[in-house]
Amino acid sequence: MPELTYLEAIAQTLRQEMERDERVFLIGQDIGAYGGAFKVTNGLQEAFGEWRVIDAPLSETAIVGGCTGAALMGMRPIAEMQFADFVSCGWDQIVTVAAKQHWRAGTPIPIVIRLPSGGGFAGGPFHSQNPESSFAHIPGLKLVCPATPSDAKGLLTSAIDDPNPVLFFEHKHLYRRVRGEVAESRFTVPIGTARIEREGNDATLVTWGAMLHLAVEAADALVEDGASIEIVDLRSILPWDRDAVLASVEKTSRLLVVHEDTRTAGFGAEILATVAAELFEHLDAPPRRLTAPDCPVPFAPSLERRFLPQVEDLVTALRELLAY
């Protein structure tokens, strides 16, 4: 299998799905002539034309509203928010209209909203957010957060196939930094199914997106302590794989959840609450979270590093969990 970057895997999927299904079209700011802010859609307008790769005006509300209408008419639109932060401008169309249309009229809304998210490049508070927890409370939506090129392709394919609105969080820091083998042929990864990145017996570490790669580094460091850490890559947080998490924690009796989003009401809290309610008698230590603090993402690189969880933070948190 060829090796692709995370960005290349997403670009390949978009091209393949547009070739396979004429109902699939792209819309977003600067995605056509410019090729997208991160060049994910580079060359697609030349290949498919201006009516299937649409340069939209600066209005996320119009983009999402147009996609919802197109989906009602049988199309399969893929919208790009230039940065995930800007999705707040389309909140009403996503939450009030698209997410509820199935309950309102029984009609499918097969739209995908691509959300370049996350920090690590000194983008500051307006270009570095991880707003997944804001949408995880909304019935009718699905949220996926791939960490690897292969999962990026498989989950994006599943999102395009899905009859429900899917928010596809693609971490900007991974675009050109992560490579992996990706099958050239079409394949899907089921939304809502976690993946065991590494098996272990002493503690469970649950994470998703860019934090997976830090989790692997931290688990490697703990090998020197004689500790065996099981890593669960959640991959999707709505729906999330409760069974996989509960089975892992029942085995290890300890849980650490790591996410890049801020702490209060972050999705890690839902995981901890579920584990505490379902497995209280199996726990050898209180479940813990490691997250960003409750403040906007700083501009300064030195402050952003303090804001984002680092490998050394994971190692410290795991050692404290194991020592309890």
Q: Looking at the annotation, which residues are catalytic?
A: 127
Which SS3 state, helix, strand or coil, does residue 207 take? strand
Residue type, 132: E
Q: Are 134 and 262 in contact (CB under 8 A)?
A: no
Q: What is the 3-state secondary structure (H, E, C) of 36-69?
A: CCCCCCCCHHHHHCCCCEEECCCCHHHHHHHHHH
Pairing of strands 142-144, 195-198: unpaired
Q: Are 165 and 111 in contact (CB under 8 A)?
A: yes
For residue 261, what are the contacts with CB-CB under 8 A and spacing of at least 6? 130, 131, 132, 133, 267, 291, 292
Joined tokens for residue 265: 């009401």
**CA-CA-CA-CA dihedral for 14, 42, 56, 65, to nearest 10:** 20
- Compute the residue count for the chain: 324
For residue 235, what are the contacts with CB-CB under 8 A and spacing of at least 6? 144, 145, 146, 147, 151, 155, 189, 193, 194, 195, 208, 241
Percentages helix, strand, coil for the chain, rounded to the nearest 5?
Answer: 40, 20, 40
